[in-house]
Amino acid sequence: MATARKPRTNKRDRILNAAERLFAKRGFHGVSVREIARAARVDVALVNYHVGKKAVLYEAVLLRRAEVLNDERVQMLEDCIASAAPEPPSVEAIIDAFTHPLLNRSTREGQGWKDYFALVAQVNNSPEMGGQLMSRYFDPVVRQFLDALRLALPGCDERDLFWSYHFLSGALTLTFAETRRIDNLSDGLCQASDLAAVHERLVPFAAAGFHRLCDSPDP
């Protein structure tokens, strides 16, 4: 008797998917609820029924994959700590645990994740609500990574550590925004869509930056 529940909400997912794609492209204010409903092939009123008003929809899109991503990041961090024990893991390994989940999802799974990361890139650089939303959804896990980095960089000044993470965050989000500016700048030699090529460079680039800032002695 129990199980035979409705597919709960096929349409709720369709709405979230369409919203994700459109918000990623044009931002919160650049997309109308009606357009999202049209793209999801769903009546306008259903958006309010299944999700809520526009602002709620926006946060629902952000939250949906944030949980998955956070779990995977924590898992990878614990793995890399465990496999380096009893030594602390290297800075490279920690950064890789932080960035690799993005690469994995973006290349192995569908366009949805790509859209999601592009959306996050916009949010991260938005003065309007960027600070609040990013802090709410990602910073709890970021703090765990900072804890690990402290062990890998003993004696590191706290401010150097925070700013180093800030630079990594900026480089990472611009990468996953995939604006194709670099395609143009490099005359096609580099491609924003070739995330594997970026990732194998981002990790050593950022690690070198962390070491440069955090290893130096303070007088």
Partner DNA sequence: TCAGGTCTTCAACCAACGTTGAATTGACTT
Partner DNA sequence: AAGTCAATTCAACGTTGGTTGAAGACCTGA
Residue numbers of the site for DNA (CB under 7 A)? Answer: 1, 4, 6, 8-11, 31-35, 42-50, 53-55
171 counts as binding a second copy under rule CB under 8 A: yes
Contact at 8 Å (CB) between 42 and 4? no
Q: Minimum distance from CB of 123 to DNA (Å)?
A: 18
One residue of 3, 109, 180, 193 binding a second copy per CB under 8 A: 180
- Identify what 42 binds: DNA, a second copy, none; CB under 5 to 8 Å per kind: DNA
SS3 call for 26: helix
Number of residues that bind a second copy (CB under 8 A): 65
Q: Which tokens belong to 156?
A: 């590191």
- Identify what 116 binds: DNA, a second copy, none; CB under 5 to 8 Å per kind: none
- Identify what 141 binds: a second copy, DNA, none; CB under 5 to 8 Å per kind: none
139 counts as binding a second copy under rule CB under 8 A: yes
> Please, which residue, 50 or 198, has the CB nearer to a second copy?
198
Closest CA to 18 of 176, 109, 10: 10
**Letter string b/e over residues 174-196, b meaning 16 or more CB atoms within 10 A of that residue's CB:** bbbbbeeebbeeeeeeeebeebe
**Alpha carbon separation from 173 to 126, 163, 170, 202 (Å, rounded):** 12, 15, 5, 11
Cα angle, residue 199 at apex, residues 207 and 91 outer, rounded to 5° = 25
One residue of 55, 111, 151, 170 binding a second copy per CB under 8 A: 170
> Please, which residue, 75 or 162, has the CB nearer to a second copy?
162
Closest CA to 72 of 92, 99, 91: 99
SS3 call for 88: coil
**Residue ranges in 43-102 that form contacts with a second copy under rule CB under 8 A:** none
Binding footprint of a second copy on the chain (CB under 8 A): 24-30, 118, 121-122, 124-128, 130-131, 134-135, 139, 142-143, 158-160, 162-175, 177-186, 189-190, 197-198, 201-202, 204-213
